[in-house]
């Protein structure tokens, strides 16, 4: 049986990951560790002789730079790359920039875990006057105001991720193209939940590590059959 494989990678550790901050749509740089993680992920793919026809990523530099490290290591810098805000991390609303431990002290670990991992619970939202509102960033100037989030749950993140998969990425898979997606913990959680029909109350258990390649196998009819980490 012929198996098609899609590779998913969460970006390497960012400077805000290192500081234990909620990052969301903030455009944090990769940390030194994050760059090393990206290169290690690429070496794993190189060892297994992966090559790609298309790569997809968000418009946030920690994902873009992770992808650059990967394709440099694979000697595929010429690869066709598409970037979309629809693959961005979920927007953490009023939590963005705050230290996670301090938020836990204020609200309690149970509530914060629901904000971080549950399917449909949204963290406190920001206002459009908040400097963290993405509408002030020129990379989102083409969007309608109602498309720009003030804070997202996994459910609302999925509402933008899944159509992008179905309309842009999946048609290439059906043409037997080899695909690499470098994105974020929650945009990838949303995609994995959709592909593998994970129940809403089970998705809370899925925490995707940084820069660890995830292989999604598809059968001859392009149905997802399993996913696993490449280690």
So which residues are the catalytic ones? Answer: 11, 89
**Residue 135 counted as an annotated binding residue:** no
- Cα-based angle 208, 80, 36 (whole degrees, multiple of 5): 40
CB atoms within 10 A of CB 9: 29
Contact 7, 50 (CB under 8 A): yes
**Residue 91 counted as an annotated binding residue:** yes
**Residue 43 counted as an annotated binding residue:** no
**Residue 21 counted as an annotated binding residue:** no
Distance (Å, whole) CA 78 – CA 46: 16
**Residue 17 counted as an annotated binding residue:** yes
**Residue 186 counted as an annotated binding residue:** yes
**Residue 84 counted as an annotated binding residue:** no
Residues with Cβ within 8 Å of residue 115, at least 6 apart in sequence = 92, 95, 121, 122, 123
Q: Which residues are annotated as a binding site for substrate?
A: 10-17, 23-24, 62, 89-92, 100, 116-117, 185-186
């Amino acid at each position: 049986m012929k198996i098609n494989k899609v590779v998913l990678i969460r970006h390497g550790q960012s400077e805000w990951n290192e500081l234990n901050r909620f990052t969301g749509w903030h455009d944090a740089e990769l940390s030194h560790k994050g760059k090393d993680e990206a290169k290690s992920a690429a070496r794993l793919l190189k060892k297994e002789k992966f090559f790609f026809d298309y790569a997809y990523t968000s418009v946030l530099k920690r994902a873009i730079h992770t992808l650059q490290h990967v394709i440099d290591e694979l000697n595929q810098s010429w690869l066709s790359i598409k970037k979309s805000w629809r693959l961005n991390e979920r927007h953490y609303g009023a939590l963005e920039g705050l230290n996670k431990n301090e938020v836990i002290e204020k609200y309690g670990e149970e509530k914060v875990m629901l904000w971080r991992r549950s399917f449909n619970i949204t963290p406190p939202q920001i206002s459009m006057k908040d400097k963290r509102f993405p509408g002030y960033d020129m990379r989102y100037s083409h969007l309608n105001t109602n498309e720009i989030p003030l804070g997202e749950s996994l459910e609302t993140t999925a509402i933008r991720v899944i159509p992008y998969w179905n309309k842009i990425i999946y048609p290439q898979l059906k043409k037997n193209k080899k695909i690499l997606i470098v994105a974020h913990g929650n945009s990838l959680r949303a995609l994995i939940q959709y592909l593998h029909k994970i129940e809403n109350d089970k998705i809370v258990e899925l925490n995707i590590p940084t820069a660890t390649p995830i292989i999604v196998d598809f059968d001859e009819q392009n149905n997802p059959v399993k996913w696993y980490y490449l280690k």
